[in-house]
Amino acid sequence: MDYKLPVGAFEQQPRTPFYYYDLKLLDDTLSSIREHSAYPGYKVHYAVKANANPIILKRIADAGFGADVVSGGELSAAINAGFTNDTIVYAGVGKADWEIELALNKNIACLNVESMAELEVIEEICHRMGKSVCVALRVNPNVDAHTHHYITTGLSENKFGIDIEKLDEIIARCQNSDCIKLKGLHFHIGSQITETTPFENLCKRINEIQDKYNEKGIYFETINVGGGLGINYDDPEAEPIPDFKSYFETFNKHLNLREGQELHFELGRSVVCQCGSLITKVLYVKNGVVKNFVIVDAGFSDLIRPALYQAHHKIENLTGHGGSEKYDVVGPICESSDCFGEQETLPVTHRGDLIAIRSAGAYGEIMASQYNCRQLPDVLAK
Ligand code: LLP
Q: Around Cβ 102, how many Cβ atoms within 10 Å? A: 19
Residues 154-200 have pLDDT tens digits of 666 666 789 888 999 999 999 999 999 999 999 999 999 999 999 99
pLDDT of residue 203 exceeding 80: yes
From the CB of 309, is ligand 1 less than 6 Å away? Answer: yes
From the CB of 224, is ligand 1 less than 6 Å away? Answer: no
Q: How far apart are CA 364 and CA 114, in angstroms?
A: 27
From the CB of 264, is ligand 1 less than 6 Å away? Answer: no
Of the pLDDT bands very low, low, confident and very high (cuts 50, 70, 90), residue 146 is confident
Q: How far apart are CA 370 and CA 377, in angstroms?
A: 9
Query: Where a domain ends, among 247, 272, 297?
Result: 272
pLDDT of residue 238 exceeding 80: yes
Query: Where a domain ends, among 238, 272, 306?
Result: 272
- Mean pLDDT, all residues of the chain: 95
Return the SS3 of 321: coil
Mean pLDDT of 136-147: 84
Please state the atom number of ligand 1 nearest to the C-alpha of residue 228.
Answer: 15
Q: How far apart are CA 107 and CA 114, in angstroms?
A: 19
| CA 152–ligand 1 middle distance (angstroms) | 9
Of the pLDDT bands very low, low, confident and very high (cuts 50, 70, 90), residue 344 is very high
DSSP string of 349-367? Answer: --TT-EEEE-S-TTTTGGG
Mean pLDDT of 192-209: 96
Mean pLDDT of 59-82: 98
Q: How far apart are CA 85 and CA 148, in angstroms?
A: 33
Residue 18 included in any domain: no
- The residue segments making up the domain with residue 303 are 274-381
Same domain flag for 130 and 263: yes
* pLDDT at 320 (0 to 100): 80
Q: How far apart are CA 364 and CA 353, in angstroms?
A: 22
Query: Where a domain ends, among 237, 272, 307?
Result: 272
Least confident of 193-197, 212-216, 317-321: 317-321
CATH code for position 292: 2.40.37.10
Q: What is the pTM of this model?
A: 0.96
DSSP string of 160-178? Answer: -SEEGGGHHHHHHHHHT-S
Q: Which one of 48, 191, 271 would you pick to mutate in the ligand 1 pocket, going by the greatest count of ligand atoms within 8 A of its CB? A: 191
Q: Say how far residue 302 (Cα) sits from the centre of its chain.
A: 17
Mean pLDDT of 319-338: 94
CATH code for position 227: 3.20.20.10
Q: How far apart are CA 319 and CA 11, in angstroms?
A: 10
* pLDDT at 161 (0 to 100): 85
Same domain flag for 258 and 356: no
Residue 5 included in any domain: no
From the CB of 266, is ligand 1 less than 6 Å away? Answer: yes
Residues 239-295 have pLDDT tens digits of 999 999 999 999 999 999 999 999 999 999 999 999 999 999 999 999 888 899 999
Please state the atom number of ligand 1 nearest to the C-alpha of residue 304.
Answer: 24
Q: What percentage of the chain's residues is helix, strand, coil (to nearest 5)?
A: 35, 25, 40
pLDDT of residue 9 exceeding 90: yes
Residue 89 included in any domain: yes
Question: 253: which residues sit within 8 A by CB, 6+ positions away?
Answer: none
Please state the atom number of ligand 1 nearest to the C-alpha of residue 230.
Answer: 15
pLDDT of residue 48 exceeding 80: yes
Same domain flag for 255 and 335: no
* pLDDT at 306 (0 to 100): 98
Of the pLDDT bands very low, low, confident and very high (cuts 50, 70, 90), residue 152 is low
The phi, psi pair for 82, rounded to 5°, reads: 110, 5
Same domain flag for 288 and 224: no
Residue 1 included in any domain: no
* pLDDT at 151 (0 to 100): 61
From the CB of 190, is ligand 1 less than 6 Å away? Answer: no
